[in-house]
Homo-oligomer: A and B are copies of this chain.
């Protein structure tokens, strides 16, 4: 017996395409293993949608992927392309049991997500923005177990599943969570530890594509703060984003101006960072950009951590999260792995789809 699971996907960028590719690639496996037939009913990018209530044919999905890969937009490619807003798409395509996948990076999806819930849909988010608006919005999206959002923290690394389905579900008491949740800032802090200069490291991360086009979008810490907020709210803490203490890796005077100017101006930070690194090393410690949750509060920033702690031993761009709990002490439960990239994020989305579909 095979159950058809209708999918409605918001977003068709790098992650969105990786999700579609993975659905196509695993369709036989999923039918055989889980008795699930995943069937796209709507697929949209910022300019409109393909909607096909009987399921978009695999050949059309393949062609949409090829068109996108060739630099075309979905609307240039698709014959049946509709210039619809997200709410319209939901009203047309949603039904009880459909799964709405949000792999955009905007909070403009929130009304459509709430509308989808009211129509009996389930939600899978890789998009952090809807979950980091006001707490009331998180609460409404996460009211009754029809939302999953593994890919918002650590991409495919099962951070959210471990927290909710292992630690919370076993009645463990969580004392403290520490996470290195940015591959970019991991690259930077391990480079600093190795004696490299701050400005050169930022420039190299920029050239390698590890940073956003403006590296300050990573160095400002807000992306990590959003992840910390999602963890906090998953713990049941009704925090708002502006209640998280965030340390940026550059001073306010470098916050304005063009990205190119910042890359030049960052040279002034080489010496202060060199001194911080040396002071940490003298104390048997190293610097890491850490999200810390404890006692109902969350902060993200550069911390001196012991060299022989899980966070201190972490090297390179991997993410790491350490759960210090009643069961996991004195050493924490640690998860580590690639926490970014389209493939890992798509893997997290697929795991969530299967988990919801098997309920």
Contacts and interface: CB of A to CB of B under 8 A. Distances in A.
Interface string A144-161: 010000100000111001
Residue of A316, A333, A355, A358 ringed by the most chain B CB atoms within 10 A: A333
The count of identical subunits is 2
A327 interface: yes
Given A318-B331, A328-B338, A347-B327, A354 B169 contact: yes
A158 B162 contact: yes
Interface string A8-48: 00000000000000100110011001100000000000000
| Residue in A33, A145, A170 with the greatest tally of chain B CB atoms within 10 Å | A170
A298 to B, nearest CB: 21
A292 interface: no
B328 A333 contact: no
B327 A338 contact: yes
Given A165-B351, A171-B347, A336 B337 contact: no
Nearest to A151: B170
A343 interface: yes
A344 B328 CA distance: 8
A165 B170 CA distance: 17
Contacts of A220: none
Contacts of A310: 336
Contacts of A350: 169-171
Contacts of A34: 169
B335 A335 contact: yes
A337 B338 contact: no
Q: Quick one: which of A30, A167, A171, A331 has the most chain B CB within 10 A?
A: A171
Contacts of A165: 158, 161, 351, 354-355
A171 B334 contact: no
B29 A171 contact: yes
Contacts of A22: 170-171
A276 interface: no
A83 interface: no
A310 B26 CA distance: 30
A343 B170 CA distance: 10
A359 interface: yes
A355 B344 CA distance: 24
A82 to B, nearest CB: 30
A283 B251 CA distance: 45
A166 interface: yes
Contacts of A347: 166-167, 170-172, 327
A333 B310 CA distance: 14
Given A145-B358, A332-B337, A334-B334, 13 more contacts: A30-B171, A33-B168, A156-B328, A157-B333, A158-B165, A158-B166, A161-B162, A161-B165, A161-B166, A170-B347, A318-B331, A328-B337, A333-B338
